[in-house]
Amino acid sequence: MTTGSERSDADTTQIRDSLLAVVRVLVPVFLALFVGALILLSFGKDPLTYYGYVISRGLFSPSGLEATITRIAPLLLIAAGLIVAFRAGIWNLGVDGQFLLASVVTAALAPVLMDSMPRGLTIVTCFAVSTAVAAAWSLLPAFLKVRYGINEIITTLMMSFLGISLSNVLVKIAFNDPSTTVPQTATLPVDERLPRLFDTTIHSGVLIALVALLLVHLMMTRTAFGLKLQVVGANPRAAVHTGLAVGKLTYATFAISAGLAGLAGSVEILGVWGTMRADWNPAYGLLVIPLVFLARFHGAATIGFVLFFAVLMIGGESASRRLGVPQYYVLVLVSLLLIFFALVEYLDQRWRKQARA
C-alpha cells in the first residue's frame, strides 16, 4: 500500500544482498585460512608470517605481482574454454593433454619458423597450429559422444593421459634438442618470444587471455550460437526438440574448449619458457575446473578466482624457498578454499529455500 515503506524495503534488501555477497566471499576465505593456519601450526610454522609473506610476495612486491599476472594468462585461457564446455553441458576433463600437446607443437615449431618468418607471423602461426592440434585431440571424444553417446568424462580423461604421454614422447624422441643434457626442445631466444608489456616481465599473452575471455563472454550472452550451446547444456532433449544440430554443436564445443586449452599451452611456451622440457606438466586443468565451477561459469568472477589463486601459487613458491613450507601447502589451501566456498554456497542456498518457504 505505502510506496514509501516499499521503497525503503527495497533499499534494505539491496544493501542486505550486497552485504551477503561480501560475506559469501569472506567467510569461506577466512575459514580456509583458519584451518590452513591450524595445519601450519601443527608443522611448527607460524601461519601469520606465512600468510603475510605469501601476500606480500604474490601481490605487493613488483616482481611477485608480475609473476602473478603472468601466471594468470594460461589459467584464464583454459577457464575460457571450460566455460564454453560446461555451459554446453560437456565435461572436458582432458584439458591437460590438450594443453601439453599444443605446448610441444609450439615449442617444436617456433624455433624452426623463426628462421624463415618474422616474429609476428611465427607467433600467429604457432597459435593457429597448436590450437588446431589441441582441437583435433578432442575430435575423438566428440565423435564418440555424438555417434555412440559415450560419456566424455572417460574419453577426455583417457585422451588426456594419451596426450601427456605423447607429448613426452615427442619431446624425448622427435624434437629433442641434442645440445642439452635433459631432454627438451630447442630453446627460443628471449627476443623471439611474446612481446613484453611495458618494462615488465609480463608478456602480452595476458592480454590475449583477457580478450579471449571477453569474446567467450560475448559469444555466450549475445549470439545465437552461444544461446544454442546453452540450450544443449541446460536441456539436451529440448535441443533435439527445437531441432538444433546437436551433433555439430557438440563438435564445435569440444573444438573451442580444447582449442583454448591449446592456446593456453602455446602462450605459456611462447611467453614464459621458450622451450618444453620432458615430463613438464603443470596440471593447470585440474585446478581451473573447480574454479570455473565456483565462478558459476561467469567470466568476471572467473578472473577474480583465477587472480586469487595465482597470488597463492606465486606467493607460495617464494615462501617455500624462504620459510621452509613446501609449495605443496598451497594445494592444501586451494582445496580448503574450494570446499569452504562450495559449503557456504550450499548453506546459502538452503537458507534461501527455507526463507522462501
Partner 1 sequence: MNTGSTDPAAAATAAHSGGGEGFVELRGITKRFPGVLANDDISLDFRPGEIHVLLGENGAGKSTLIGILAGMQQPDAGEIRVRGASVRIGSPRESLELGIGTVFQHVLLVQSLTVLENLMLGGAWWRRIDRDAALKRFRELSELLALEISPDALVGRLSLGQQQQVEIVRALWRGEGVLVLDEPTSMLTPEGVRELGQVMVRLRDEGVAIVFITHKLQEAYAFGDRISVLRLGKLVGSIDKERLSGMDEQAVTDEVIRLMFGSTEGHDQDAETLSGLGHRRPHLSAERQAEEPCLNLRAVSTQGDVGECPLQDVSFSLFPGEILGIAGVDGNGQKHLAEAVAGQRLAAQGEIFLEGAKIERLGVPDRRKLGIRYITDERLGEGTVGAFSVAHNVVMKEIGQPPLWRHGISLWDRIFAHARGQIREHDVRTPSERTPIGRLSGGNIQKVLLARELADDLVGEAKVVVFNKPTYGLDLQSTRFARDRIRRGAESGLATILISTELDELIELSDRIAVMFQGRLAGIVENGEGVEREIGLLMTGAAAA
Partner 2 sequence: MGALLTEAFITSLVFGAITAGVPLLLAGLGEQISEKSGVLNIGIEGMMLMGAYCGFAAAYYSGSFWAGFLFGGLGGAAVAVLMAVFCVRFGMNQIVIGIALTLGVEGLTALLHFFQFSRTYPRLGESGALRIPLLSDIPVLGSALFAHHPLVYLAVAVVFALGWVFRSTFIGFNLEAAGNKPSALDAAGVSVIATRVYAVLSTGFLAGIGGAYMANVGAGLFIPFMTGGAGFIGIVLAMLARGRPLWVLFGALLFGASLALTTALQVAGLNIPTDVVQMLPFAMVMLVLVIFGRHSYLPPALGHPYVRGER
Phi, psi of 81 (to 5 degrees): -65, -40
**Per CB under 8 A, does 169 bind partner 1?**
no
Place of cell 569472506: 26
Residue (121 or 182) nearer to partner 2, CB: 182
Query: What is the C-alpha separation between 262 and 96, in angstroms, rounded?
Result: 9
Residue (91 or 251) nearer to partner 2, CB: 91
**Per CB under 8 A, does 356 bind partner 1?**
yes
**Per CB under 8 A, does 349 bind partner 1?**
no
Place of cell 599444443: 102
Residue (61 or 143) nearer to partner 2, CB: 143
C-alpha cell at position 148? 555412440
**Cross-strand bridge partners of residue 203:** 196
The number of residues that bind partner 1 (CB under 8 A) is 21
**Per CB under 8 A, does 150 bind partner 1?**
no
**Per CB under 8 A, does 225 bind partner 1?**
yes
Q: Which residues of the shown chain bind partner 2 in the complex (CB under 8 A)? A: 39, 43, 91, 140, 143-144, 147-151, 153-155, 157-159, 161-162, 165-166, 168-169, 172-173, 286-287, 289-290, 293-294, 326, 328-336, 338-339, 342-343, 346
Query: What is the C-alpha separation between 270 and 276, in angstroms, rounded?
Result: 10
Taken as a whole, the chain contains a residue count of: 357
Closest contact distance (angstroms) between CB of 8 and partner 1 is 22
Contact of 90 with 258, CB cutoff 8 Å: no
Which one of 16-24, 87-95, 111-119, 241-249 is the stretch in contact with partner 1 (CB under 8 A)? 241-249
∠ CA 212-215-217, nearest 5°, is 110
Which one of 75-83, 119-127, 189-197, 240-248 is the stretch in contact with partner 1 (CB under 8 A)? 240-248
- When CB distances are held under 5 to 8 angstroms depending on the partner's kind, the choice from partner 1, partner 2, none that residue 293 binds is partner 2
Query: What is the C-alpha separation between 193 and 114, in angstroms, rounded?
Result: 10
Q: Which residues between 244 and 273 bind partner 1 (CB under 8 A)?
A: 244-245
**Per CB under 8 A, does 215 bind partner 1?**
no
Residue (93 or 202) nearer to partner 2, CB: 93
Closest contact distance (angstroms) between CB of 99 and partner 2 is 15
Residue (1 or 357) nearer to partner 1, CB: 357
Contact of 265 with 100, CB cutoff 8 Å: yes
> Three-class SS of residue 150?
coil
- When CB distances are held under 5 to 8 angstroms depending on the partner's kind, the choice from partner 2, partner 1, none that residue 231 binds is partner 1
The distance from CA 304 to its chain's CA centroid, rounded to whole angstroms, is: 12
**Per CB under 8 A, does 182 bind partner 1?**
no
Amino acid at 335: S
Which one of 166-174, 230-238, 281-289, 322-330 is the stretch in contact with partner 1 (CB under 8 A)? 230-238
> Three-class SS of residue 244?
coil
One residue of 14, 200, 223, 349 binding partner 1 per CB under 8 A: 223
Sequence-distant contacts of 207-211: CB under 8 A, at least 24 apart: 208/73, 208/77, 208/263, 208/267, 209/72, 209/73, 209/74, 209/75, 209/76, 209/77, 209/80, 209/264, 209/267, 210/76, 210/303
Site residues (vs partner 1, CB under 8 A): 221-225, 227-228, 230-231, 234-235, 237-238, 240-245, 356-357
